[in-house]
């Protein structure tokens, strides 16, 4: 149940954040025109903040999913969006909105006050979390290779770079997968990408992602089908049970 809830939060993150922005704007209007109503709503906002942050901690603590998101439009198999980032952003929304409303109200009476500094700082932190939660920070398997998206940059590892995951396999608690390359000169970094030899696994079980990478390294004939629903349904049993020899192999491409 809780897993499905977190999956829903992650998959609908932009809709949820857009609704939160609209509600925040409405709250600012209410606080500007009827300050007493804004003050009465403050305890509920604090409660919402606490619940959101507690759920964010729970999302970070639960077992990471062993599945990929099929994106035929790219095409790609992507790690699921992380619900914890959305919940942290939601946790900052109520107090940040309330502080912004107070700062706007005080601005009318006094152009600048030292009391505005915490409000502006909180608003900056809120804006940062919205950008992080809204953006694409996933790791993707594509027909041409591995892509890792970050807030400040991207990493592209073509299959021809011969990426290798050193033994032993990554543990379930690991937050990154270490890669070595047979042809490191083919690896490309765009923007600020500090660790070209590591793939983040904050969004997905590292063993599952490692199994997917190994499978497509060993089966280059299947790479053109990455991003299709049929290919995902064929390969998923093998990724969930990489050592299970009873799982029938995928049929070769015609």
For the segment 118-149, what is each residue's pLDDT rounded down to a tens digit? Answer: 777 887 888 888 988 998 888 999 999 999 99
How confident is the model at residue 252, as a pLDDT? 43
How confident is the model at residue 248, as a pLDDT? 39
Query: 3-class SS at 75?
Result: coil
Q: 76: which strand partners?
A: 71
pLDDT at 72 over 90: yes
CB atoms within 10 A of CB 109: 7
Distance in angstroms (rounded) separating the CA atoms of residues 73 and 57: 33
Cβ contact 139:148 at 8 Å: yes
Where does 145-243 show beta strands of DSSP type E?
A: 145-149, 153-158, 163-164, 176-178, 180-181, 188-191, 198-200
Question: 45 Cβ partners below 8 Å, 6+ apart?
Answer: 94, 95, 97, 98
**Nearest-CA neighbor of 75 among 144, 149, 159, 138?**
144
pLDDT tens figures, 198-234: 998 988 999 999 999 999 999 999 999 999 999 999 9
Please state the domain extents for the chain.
2-68+82-134, 139-240
Cα R_g (the chain), whole angstroms: 22
Distance in angstroms (rounded) separating the CA atoms of residues 100 and 148: 35
pLDDT band at 108 (very low <50, low <70, confident <90, very high): low
């Amino acid at each position: 149940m809780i897993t499905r809830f977190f999956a829903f939060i992650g998959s609908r993150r932009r809709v949820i954040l857009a609704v939160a922005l609209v509600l925040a704007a409405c709250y600012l209007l209410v606080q500007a025109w009827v300050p007493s109503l804004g003050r009465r709503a403050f305890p509920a906002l604090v409660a919402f903040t606490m619940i959101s942050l507690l759920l964010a901690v729970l999302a970070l603590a639960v077992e990471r999913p062993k599945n990929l998101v099929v994106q035929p439009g790219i095409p790609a198999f992507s790690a699921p969006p992380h619900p914890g980032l959305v919940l942290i952003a939601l946790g900052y929304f109520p107090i940040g909105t309330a502080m912004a409303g107070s700062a706007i109200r005080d601005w009318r009476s006094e152009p600048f006050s030292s009391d505005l500094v915490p409000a502006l700082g909180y608003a900056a932190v809120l804006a940062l979390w919205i950008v992080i939660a809204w953006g694409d920070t996933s790791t993707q398997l594509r027909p041409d290779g591995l892509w890792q998206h970050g807030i400040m940059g991207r990493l592209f590892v073509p299959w021809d770079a011969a990426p290798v995951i050193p033994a032993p396999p990554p543990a379930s608690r690991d937050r990154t997968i270490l890669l070595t390359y047979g042809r490191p000169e083919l690896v490309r970094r765009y923007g600020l990408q500090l660790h070209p030899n590591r793939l983040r696994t904050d969004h997905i079980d590292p063993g599952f992602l490692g199994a997917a990478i190994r499978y497509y390294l060993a089966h280059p004939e299947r790479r053109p089908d990455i991003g299709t629903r049929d290919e995902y349904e064929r390969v998923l049993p093998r990724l969930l049970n990489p050592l299970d020899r009873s799982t029938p192999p995928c049929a070769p491409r015609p």
